[in-house]
Amino acid sequence: MFQEIKKAQKYRKRFIESVKKFGTPQYVLVVDELKERINIINQIKKYYPNIDIYYTYKANCRPFICKLLHESDIHASVSSIFELKLALKLKAKKIIYNGPGKTREELNLAILNSDKVIINVDSFEELKEIIKISKIKNKKVSIGLRVCIKTNHDVKSNYDVKWSRFGIRREEISYILSIIKKEKNISFEGFHFHIGIKNRSPSLYKKSLKEIGKIIRALNDEEKKKIKFINIGGGFGVEGYFPRSNRNGFVAEMINKFYAFKYNYPMYKTVPIEIFIKAVIDSFKKDILSIKNIDNPKMILEPGRWFVSPCVHLLTKVIYKKGEHYAILDSSITMCSALLYEYHPISNLSNISYEMKKCNLLGSSLFHIDILGKNYYGNRLKINDILCITSMGAYMENVSWQFCKPLPKIIALSNGTMKKIKKEEDFNYRFGRDIF
């Protein structure tokens, strides 16, 4: 908890300068924080050099962020035609294309750029479409198979209810590989799995690698030799917030409701990424590299939230007060909808302290659930005070929706400079596509 307040305090002066220059509301990217995370994850390669890292665009697809990551030899993982076009425009060296509902238009573009795009196939029907397009275009296509990994979440089917919609089941793989073998334009190169989000320990990845190992052992030697990569997906947990939706979140909310917000939320804790990935690499060596006739495949990681969540923060201003228990801000929950199910600490930059104060921090839209928080850290709020909501870089601005108020600008702070990297929404931005 206090780590987030310290972060707000560390950048307080620069945040206030950014507000004076660009106004509020604004998302602010601290570039040095992102670069630090790039350095941390690149150090992981010392445990297994044959690793490729792909950034998951859907976490936050701002071109400035994606370009910075690509310049550090981190590749692109995309899941829509907009993201694919962006990765191509930014000249990403390697692109992985994921998703269960790839349209013909999307597959056409991916196959036209098959020299740098690997398609992770999600179903047999999708594979048939890829085969058809590859013949029409006369293009050789590299593919991976996304595997639907069994878990213990759903006892009846032994497949996780939420995640079983993704990927190919183990019993289908042999037949699908037999189809691929007949197609000269299709190159099977590996397996992919993704076992959820906000994973706080490597245990599920280790279990999944055992499952993938069993699948590979059942293949013939020719099929084993074709495997160039095992893609373990993303979903790595990151600190900086508290999930309201689980049991601990409910207990914390109840304690604060009845004890005047004297209870500090126990923030989300995860295993440090270096320890996390090292444990996964150990399992990779044990369950994959030990298989006979497999030729030292790459391990692919696809972090998204882990990279960007701690590096972007929302700055907003108090524009009105209604007594001491209601403050109306110039931002809105529509700009950061994840606050509906996540608690992110809010600091009063104008008068910061480590003491939690109770106050309903209300958004400025005509939306009855427009509440950004119910407490803040700092001394008594006044009109024009600047508030900072920390660790807002993933699945916030990029999943905001248009309602009443304009969507905010984004500012990048780097090496003593600050610049706008996305304009705030204006009338033409919102209504320019309409036919009057």
- The yes-or-no verdict on residue 97 having pLDDT over 60 is yes
Task: At 318, list the tokens.
Answer: 């108090």
| The predicted structure's pLDDT at residue 246 | 52
Checking if the pLDDT of 85 tops 50, the result is yes
Domain positions in the chain are 32-242+268-307, 309-426
Q: What is the pLDDT of residue 154?
A: 41
Asked if pLDDT for residue 259 goes beyond 90, the answer is: no
The enclosing H or E element of 147 equals: none
**Range 269-297 average pLDDT:** 94
Residues with Cβ < 8 Å from 245, sequence gap 6 or more? 341
With bands split at pLDDT 50, 70 and 90, how would you rate the model's confidence at 165?
A: confident
Question: With contact defined as beta carbons under 8 Å apart, do 378 and 358 qualify?
Answer: no
For the cut 60, the answer to whether the pLDDT of residue 89 exceeds it is yes
Is 32-242+268-307 assigned to CATH 3.90.1150.10?
no
In this predicted model, what pLDDT tens digit does every residue of 180-197 receive, in sequence order?
Answer: 999 999 999 999 999 888
Instruction: With beta carbons less than 8 A apart as the criterion, state whether 426 and 406 touch.
Output: yes
pLDDT score recorded for residue 244 = 64
Q: How far apart are CA 399 and CA 220, in angstroms?
A: 44
Q: In angstroms, rounded to a whole number, what is the distance separating the alpha carbons of residues 409 and 420?
A: 7
pLDDT higher than 60, residue 174: yes
Top-tier CATH class for 309-426: mainly beta
What pLDDT is attached to residue 64? Answer: 98
Q: Is the pLDDT of residue 257 over 80?
A: no
Q: Are 342 and 96 in contact (CB under 8 A)?
A: no
Q: Please tell me the number of Cα atoms within 13 Å of 63 on its side-chain side.
A: 13
Query: Rounded CA gap, 179 and 185, in Å?
Result: 12
Give the pLDDT confidence score for residue 150 in this predicted structure. 72
Give me the pLDDT at residue 164, please: 75
Q: Could you tell me the pLDDT band of residue 415, with boundaries at 50, 70 and 90?
A: confident
Give ∠ CA 234-307-48 in degrees, rounded to 5: 60
- The model's pLDDT over 305-326, given as tens digits with 9 standing for 90+, comes to 999 999 999 999 999 999 999 9
The pTM assigned to this predicted structure is 0.92
Nearest-CA neighbor of 130 among 115, 145, 111? 111
pLDDT tops 70 at residue 280: yes
Average pLDDT of the chain? 91
